[in-house]
Amino acid sequence: MDRLTNTVRPYAWGSTTAIPQLIGAEPTGEPQAEMWLGAHPGAPSRTGRGPLNEVIDADPTAELGEQAVTKFGPRLPFLLKLLAAGAPLSLQVHPDLGQAKEGYAAEEAKGVPIGAPDRNYKDANHKPELICALTEFDGLCGFRAPEEAARLLEGLGVDSLKPYADLLRAHPEEAALREVLTAILTADRDEMAHTVTEAAAAAQRLGGPYEPYAGIAHHYPGDPGVIAAMLLNYVQLQPGEALFLGAGVPHAYLNGLGVEIMANSDNVLRCGLTPKHVDVPELLRIVRFEATDPGVLRPEASADGEEVYDTPIDEFRLSRFVLPEGAPAHDLTAATPQILLCTAGTVRAGDIDLAPGGSAFVPAGEKAEVSGVGTLFRATVVA
């Protein structure tokens, strides 16, 4: 078992305080957005044996186990994160596996550099993800029903939004959502900026269900994504609740601290709330234009106290243990690779003591006994 030392990414939307408060460190004044735990080459965790990606590359079967290597190849198929949003992230979607392979191959054939700002596909993998709230956590997830979105837009009393409300009522669900999102993202930028300014002022005045959108507009004044965001379900998670985000589902995290796990991919198609490249035609190819229930997940407890967040994905499996005083030790030994992350209290994993923010990598088959008083998240795969 290896204690992990992890990189914190300073993205501009990150909270300046949430991760420092969790790990008991002094804030630096700079945003601390994501702590990466895993073997992603962009910021691999470090072990006493070297960077985790290099440790795995040296002997994939020993580290990941034969089952995982057979199913996913010689790499850790998930990336675990602590995510701390102090401002809204970009409104985005992720491709399914077939779309990712196709898009990656097409950009490779065109010779688009992997680091080019207009490149959509950094790899040939899909990127389903799960976010589990550690604090109250606000987000957007999936389309509202068109009629509900139309009422929300009309309630602002902004004349230039009326055509969008009319479109939402004029067509069947898929066509209505597609036409309105297309219209928002292809509108004249100056005219849209004026509409967003009016809508933001109205949202600020009205409050209530409009309050989240006033906050979004404060961070992204004039951005078309502010109006696009109103097409989506607003979700407020309580600690311990989670959201699963599958392929083609538009979403954005707005505020809060959580544990996020995803398939090991960088593929993101952006809809707005960002200064980065927005490829509208490719985005429209990937988005699933259907109204959905956000489907807030609550963990399912097993007899041994493990609380599992059930998802339809094999590349990752996230669970947690809430360990009370006097609880017996849990044997987590498994034939698959694991990352353990403490988020509260003090947990002993093998011979490693983990305080909040502390983590460990457990190679496949390695003895893994945990005890203590606190909360421990367990990330592994279904193989």
Which residues are tagged catalytic? 270
What are the residues whose beta carbons fall under 8 Å from the beta carbon of 173, sequence distance 6 or more?
Answer: 145, 146, 289, 290, 291
190-229: buried (b, 16+ CB within 10 Å) or exposed (e) per residue?
Answer: eebbebbebbbebbeeeeeebebbbbbbeebeebbbbbbb
Give me the half-sphere count of Cα atoms (radius 13 Å) on the Cβ side of residue 205. 10
Q: How far apart are CA 48 and CA 37, in angstroms?
A: 15
DSSP state, residue 17: S
Place of tokens 């990127």: 127
Angstrom CA distances, 11 to 8, 157, 213, 325, stand at 9, 35, 21, 37
Give me the half-sphere count of Cα atoms (radius 13 Å) on the Cβ side of residue 242. 23
163-175: buried (b, 16+ CB within 10 Å) or exposed (e) per residue?
Answer: ebbebbeeeeeee
Q: Are residues 372 and 323 in contact, defined by beta-carbon separation less than 8 angstroms?
A: yes
Burial class (CB in 10 A: 0-12, 13-18, 19+), 276: exposed
Residue 195, SS3? helix
Place of tokens 């509202």: 144
Residue 323, SS3? strand
